[in-house]
Structure 1
Amino acid sequence: MTVVHSAPKFTLVENAKADLSAALGTMLLGAHEEHGELLFTVQRGEIENALRLLRDEHEYQQLVEIAGVDYPDRAERFEVVYMLLSLTKNHRIMVKVSAAENTPVPTVTTLWPVAGWLEREVFDMYGVVFDGNTDLRRILTDYGFEGHPFRKDFPMTGYVELRYSEEDKRVVYEPVELAQDMRSFDFLSPWEGADYVLPGDEKAATPPIDDPKVTEGPEDTGAGAKADAKAAEPVSEGAPAEVDTDIAEPDAPTPTEDRKGKAKRKKTAADTAAATETKKGKGA
């Protein structure tokens, strides 16, 4: 029994390179294979026609991504790379064009509407202008941002930074100020070890204590029968309650037993101290 799979077959790179190169004809500037993928370089002014040909006649239906690349040493420093996917062939190719800072690249929003967002990203990050894009605005950086972050001549720290000012009650832009210097890394192997002592490792070289202080028994802690007897005393010696200051306190209340007309208590309750203290040898 023959099993028919719904998944498309893979297109061989060698066959696709020859077929697509012949189809692009004079629009093609070069074609080569890199990392198992095909890259076609076409004329900048023919990018729309080339991608329409690949979409309609060679079944590369989907525009997956548009990316930018910066080569500052080249006369045309930028490359715009279009990544196409064929759902029927299960195959991917990349088509690229070159452009200078003041050289516009034709838009492909006429072929894929999603290209509008992708072209805005390349414009925002690299400064490449797309001719025919009716909504070419920044998409990732903030309002009023100057420069293009992915250019290799863009400073690592940027030009300005923004924060919310409580005084002005709005977002303000200020020159960039680094809170700390950029750290440097030595990239040494962790298995070989560094030539310097890392913070915290200096404790590993601390010698052990010769005579550590330990508590082998109750006598080392101060506990025992003597300490228990001291704690059982009802009033500590020299406590404020035992000291007569001989200072008259006119506003102090009169003791209950000394009030005039107060009947004496019956039995032993009159002796407060004797009634509250516990006799030795008896439990509480």
Structure 2
Amino acid sequence: MQDIAKLHKDLIEDQSLKMIIEEIEEKNGELSVKIRAEHLTTFLFQMRDGMQYLFKVLLDVCAVDYPGNDKRFVIVYHLLSIEHNLRIRVKVWVNEDDFVPTIKDIFSSSHWYEREVWDMYGILFIGNDDLRRILTDYGFSGYPMRKDFPLTGYVEVRYDAAKQGVVYESVKLAQEYRNFDCKSPWEGEDYILPGDEKASK
């Protein structure tokens, strides 16, 4: 069984990966590797099939939105090596207009994950011929996990038991917006809280 330090050393010394890996970060017992999108399939093939790696399980594909960065999105691939009892995180930074190669020929489970990332962030995966909505409605407009996605003004879909069918209506927030004064009643506020009148008697 390997450990993180040995995996880190193997990645640095692997001649086939020298031109692919942009950055390796070891933090809190976890290893993250940053690569460019055009090297994604080459790198993941090596991670899956290389005898010193054997990351044969794709645990997850997710994304994060950083609107202020030059490259707005980071796509994160979480891999597991059962043989070596190790995990690795692979990060790919892309812009809104960039295309990312699909990895469904390397990890068949990625098909659903890529659909989810496309549905939530609008990131296109070249080679995935089934990028349809998976968590939102088919007529949904926009990508709800982007930081600039508005919280109001859209419609929602729900089943109406009275009409016995699906209805579209404006989004309704369950609770009114509230203003909090963020003052603690234990710091001598000038208003009387319910029940305080009993203490003054």
Q: Give the alignment's TM-score, normalised by structure 2.
A: 0.84
**How much has 1:176 moved relative to structure 2?**
3.0
User: What is the correspondence of 1:63-78 to structure 2 with a 5 Å cutoff?
Assistant: 63-78=58-73
Match of residue 45, structure 1, among 30, 38, 48 = 38
Q: Based on CA coordinates, which of the two structures has the bigger radius of gyration? A: 1
SS in structure 1 opposite 2:141? coil
Where do 5+ consecutive residues of structure 1 fail to align? 1-8, 208-284
Q: Looking at both structures, which has the greater relative contact order when contacts are Cα pairs under 8 Å and sequence separation is at least 6?
A: 2
Change in CA separation of 1:33 and 1:161 when aligned onto 2, cut-off 3 Å? same
**How much has 1:13 moved relative to structure 2?**
2.4
Separation (CA, whole Å) in 1 of partners of 2:115 and 2:149: 19
SS in structure 1 opposite 2:18? helix
SS in structure 2 opposite 1:161? strand
Aligned to 2:20: 27
Percent sequence identity over aligned pairs: 43
Aligned to 1:18: 9
Change in CA separation of 1:131 and 1:194 when aligned onto 2, cut-off 3 Å? farther
1:60 alignment partner AA: F
Q: Deviations over 1:6-56 (max 9, x none)?
A: xxx3x3322211211332221111111223211111110110110010110
Match of residue 201, structure 1, among 180, 195, 198 = 195
Separation (CA, whole Å) in 1 of partners of 2:173 and 2:140: 19
Would you say the 8 A contact 2:137–2:157 is kept in 1? no
Decide which structure has greater strand share: 2
SS in structure 2 opposite 1:47? helix
Would you say the 8 A contact 1:44–1:105 is kept in 2? yes
Separation (CA, whole Å) in 1 of partners of 2:41 and 2:111: 14
RMSD: 2.6
Change in CA separation of 1:137 and 1:30 when aligned onto 2, cut-off 3 Å? same
Would you say the 8 A contact 1:121–1:140 is kept in 2? yes
Change in CA separation of 1:90 and 1:143 when aligned onto 2, cut-off 3 Å? same
Change in CA separation of 1:170 and 1:13 when aligned onto 2, cut-off 3 Å? same
Q: Give the alignment's TM-score, normalised by structure 1.
A: 0.61
Would you say the 8 A contact 1:105–1:129 is kept in 2? yes
2:79 alignment partner AA: L
